[in-house]
Amino acid sequence: MSNACSLLQLAEVEEREYTMADYEGAMARWCPGCGDHSVLTAVQRLLTEEQIVPENTVFVSGIGCSSRFPHYVKTYGFHGLHGRALPVATGIKLSRPELNVFAVMGDGDCVSIGAGHWIHAIRYNLNMVALMLDNNIYGLTKMQTSPTTPPGVKTNTHPYGAVLPPLNPLEATLGVSNASFVAQTAEWVPAHLYATLKAAYRHKGFSFVRIVQRCPAYLPKMYEDAVTNPDRLEFLVHPEGIDVPELAKAYKNRVRHDPRDLDAARRFAEDMSVIRLGLFFRDEERPRYEELRRPPKKTVEEKLQLLEEEFDRYAV
């Protein structure tokens, strides 16, 4: 009887259908109108539509407004240090390659203090999704210049306006060897945001997605023109890329781009005269580190012995 009950319980687990409520964590405490809310909804929709098992999923973050993400998704989560989301996510993926790993970072978190980790995570090309929520400002610490802040924008650290050209995350990512998936979307275009997240999750390799988002508290006018004027956006479309046909009526600027063309992807990324949304580059043939790495397999007893030896090193 006990064996029959166990089999029945296993069957119930395997047949369980998850709803969005199964992925809803604590109530989000972002400012009203923050783009993070849109990203959270799209992620929870992705988890639901793909029926991603919560206990087989991990969200990792660093420090920043967007980095509160793991608190708001009912999966495993790790809220780490500033700029350190990717090394933690890398460690999780290498030790538990069967898990679904998402790293969520802000612009300062990813491309400032976390820049070194970001570059090498691209090179490692582990099978995970990296979301960079880019609002062009340090929001959590109340309006300091970030690496992506445009020149002339007045902040607490540059009261007369930022002076350096902004770092271009797409251009930089496409310049790193072994990049395999580079896309850009915007939080105020929810259909495209969801389609991009879906493509990123299904890609085999390191999926880097820059999400252009608004910060209503400190840069409320940054993307105001792009939100109200569809001509400020240009969509890269292709059968092998990301295309949302129902958006064609509202957004007329559509350019055919083969995401296998790295040179064209770099040209599109370099030109910042318009905001381009879509899949810039994808190559699933790029080597993935977790498949090249061959650590010797150890028994449970051997693992316990190694842990005991490591603990002994710190014994007083």
- Residue 5 located in a structural domain: no
For residue 102, give Cα distances in angstroms to 23, 146, 174, 234, 288: 14, 23, 20, 27, 16
What pLDDT, on a 0 to 100 scale, did the predictor assign at position 293?
A: 85
- Residue 296 located in a structural domain: no
- Residue 60 located in a structural domain: yes
Give pLDDT tens digits for 231-285: 999 999 999 999 999 999 999 999 999 999 999 999 999 999 999 999 999 999 9
Query: Mean pLDDT over residues 191-213, rounded?
Result: 98
Query: Mean pLDDT over residues 29-57, rounded?
Result: 97
User: What average pLDDT does the structure give for the chain?
Assistant: 94
Query: Mean pLDDT over residues 31-54, rounded?
Result: 97
Tell me if 84 sits within 8 A of 114, measured CB to CB: yes
- Residue 302 located in a structural domain: no
Give pLDDT tens digits for 146-163: 999 999 999 999 999 999
Give pLDDT tens digits for 69-125: 999 999 999 999 999 999 999 999 999 999 999 999 999 999 999 999 999 999 999
Residue 9 has pLDDT above 90, yes or no: no
Q: Above pLDDT 70, what percent of the chain?
A: 96
- Residue 12 located in a structural domain: no
What pLDDT, on a 0 to 100 scale, did the predictor assign at position 15?
A: 77
Where does the pLDDT of residue 297 fall: very low under 50, low under 70, confident under 90, or very high at 90 and above? confident
Residue 2 has pLDDT above 80, yes or no: no
Q: Between vectors from CA 154 to CA 152 and to CA 160, what angle results, nearest 5°?
A: 75
Q: Give CA–CA dist 68/140, Å, rounded.
A: 10
Tell me if 254 sits within 8 A of 247, measured CB to CB: no
Domain count, the chain: 1
- Residue 278 located in a structural domain: yes
- Residue 300 located in a structural domain: no
Q: Give CA–CA dist 251/161, Å, rounded.
A: 32
What pLDDT, on a 0 to 100 scale, did the predictor assign at position 294?
A: 75
Tell me if 136 sits within 8 A of 153, measured CB to CB: yes
- Residue 306 located in a structural domain: no
Q: In what order do the strands lie in the sheet with 233-237?
A: 76-79, 57-61, 100-106, 128-134, 206-212, 181-186, 275-282, 233-237, 254-256
What is the pTM for the complete model shown?
0.89
Residue 217 has pLDDT above 90, yes or no: yes
Residue 34 has pLDDT above 60, yes or no: yes
Q: Give CA–CA dist 197/276, Å, rounded.
A: 16
Domain that holds residue 84: 18-289
Output the domain CATH number for residue 50: 3.40.50.970
Where does the pLDDT of residue 31 fall: very low under 50, low under 70, confident under 90, or very high at 90 and above? very high
Phi-psi category of residue 125: left, alpha or beta, with phi > 0 → left and psi -120 to 50 → alpha = left
